[in-house]
Structure 1
Amino acid sequence: MAYMWRWYQGLMVRHPWKVQITTAGSLVGVGDIISQQVVERKGLPNHDGARTAKMMLIGFAFVGPVIGGWYRVLDRLVPGTTKTVALKKMALDQGAFAPPFLVGFMSIVGTLNGLTHPQILDKLRRDYPDALLANYYIWPAVQIANFYFIPLQHRLAVVQCVALIWNAYLSWKSNKK
């Protein structure tokens, strides 16, 4: 396991952007697998592989680039690593970034699932408030620790590891009929 971690860290040094995006996409996919198999209890024969592929695509094309880019912007907006800086970053992250990010995520899932614009708006009206509230139960504490203890190049990976459960929740919430 230590060898794997050193290998991963070496890749992060050589190809930080690619590795962050690949990690995010993979872990969003794993979150969907957890959602289908543990939360929804579909069983392997009924697993929706196309849904998992869509969720991975969203992780590769949206989650990884957007969150990774946001962390870079946030570090420029609020430089430093003190406790006060971590609190400011968390406040910006949860107040300015999380709400529109969640709308984007849920809208992309709806679009890939073939929903029309009015159907997506209905889904957002129905599911967004619960998802945002759940976000506020989980992420402020995680983000304070992330911004205080974790170097920039590892933040997305740390968040995505913590987010396995969050990704499973979002997959369930975004894909439920």
Structure 2
Amino acid sequence: MFSLMVYCNLPYVQAMNIARSMGFIFSRINHLKERLFSSKNLLYTNVGISISLSGIGDVLEQHYEILKGEWNSWNFTRTRNMAISGMFIGIACHHWYNFLDAKMAGRTIGIVLKKVIVDQLICSPLCISILFLTLAVLENNSLTELKDEIQKKAHRLYIAEWVIWPPAQVINFYFLPTRYRVLYDNTISLGYDVYTSHVKHDNS
């Protein structure tokens, strides 16, 4: 009889063990999130996110180009350079959002729209400039080559910025606290990073 009772209760015991395990996992995830996005570690977290997703964006673009027959194999140096440019953009965005939220506190529709416009007029051109400048340095390009590349390609990225970011940034500025802004940006911009890599390395 005792064995029968134990057998009948086995699914309940297993369910309780699974629930306890899941509770422990979620607790650890929450603890890790609080550490990563604390004011002490936020800069490092934002930079790490920017490096990772800029690199992933280039890897995706390169593999698409390989499938189209434009390349024979993955170019690690190109991905490394895109990731390094992402690092500098991540640093800029981290400080920019702290500055913008300090200067324009609040979440009314009027303030959110002002932030979106200021972000597009200042931060977007800044990030595009950082991209081309850092890659020019990493690729040992001359100042003339840098100017020529900016003239040919920067406007394509800036037009894409105006298509993608205003609606995305309304959500960012209205719903999210400052510490999650760069994470949100990079999550949304993974597809944009693919396009950025495409434009940067498009020689047609």
Question: With structure 2 as the length reference, what TM-score do the two structures score?
Answer: 0.78
Aligned to 2:37: 12
Asked if 1:38 corresponds to 2:64, the answer is yes
Asked if 1:53 corresponds to 2:80, the answer is yes
* Structure 1 residue corresponding to 2:159, chosen from 133, 142, 150: 133
Q: Secondary structure at the match of 1:148?
A: helix
State the distance in 1 between where 2:73 and 2:176 align.
Answer: 39
Considering only aligned residues, what root-mean-square deviation do their CA atoms show, in Å? 2.3
Aligned to 2:113: 87
| The structure with more radius of gyration | 2
Asked if 1:157 corresponds to 2:183, the answer is yes
Aligned to 1:113: 139
Deviation at 1:115, TM superposition (A): 1.7
Residues 146, 155 of structure 1: 8 Å contact kept: yes
Q: For structure 1, list consecutive stretches of 5 or more residues without a partner in the other structure.
A: none
Deviation at 1:105, TM superposition (A): 1.2
Residues 25, 64 of structure 1: 8 Å contact kept: yes
Deviations 1:25-52 (A, max 9, x none): 1111111111111256378960011111
Q: Secondary structure at the match of 1:134?
A: helix
Residues 90, 140 of structure 1: 8 Å contact kept: yes
Letter in 2 for 1:65: I
Residues 110, 174 of structure 1: 8 Å contact kept: no
Higher relative contact order (CA 8 A, sep 6+): 1
- Decide whether aligned partners of structure 1 residues 33 and 75 sit closer, same or farther in structure 2, where only a CA change above 3 A counts: same
State the distance in 1 between where 2:202 and 2:66 align.
Answer: 10
Q: How many residues align?
A: 176
Aligned to 2:54: 28
Indicate the percent of aligned positions where both proteins have the same amino acid: 25
Q: For structure 2, list consecutive stretches of 5 or more residues without a partner in the other structure.
A: 1-21
Deviation at 1:114, TM superposition (A): 2.3
State the distance in 1 between where 2:137 and 2:48 align.
Answer: 22
Residues 55, 79 of structure 2: 8 Å contact kept: yes
Deviations 1:105-135 (A, max 9, x none): 1222223222211111111111111111111
Letter in 1 for 2:75: D
State the distance in 1 between where 2:116 and 2:164 align.
Answer: 12
Letter in 1 for 2:169: Q
Deviation at 1:8, TM superposition (A): 3.2
Tell me whether 16-25 or 98-107 shows the greater mean CA deviation.
Answer: 98-107
Q: Secondary structure at the match of 2:194?
A: helix
State the distance in 1 between where 2:43 and 2:129 align.
Answer: 24
Aligned to 1:173: 199
Q: Secondary structure at the match of 2:94?
A: helix
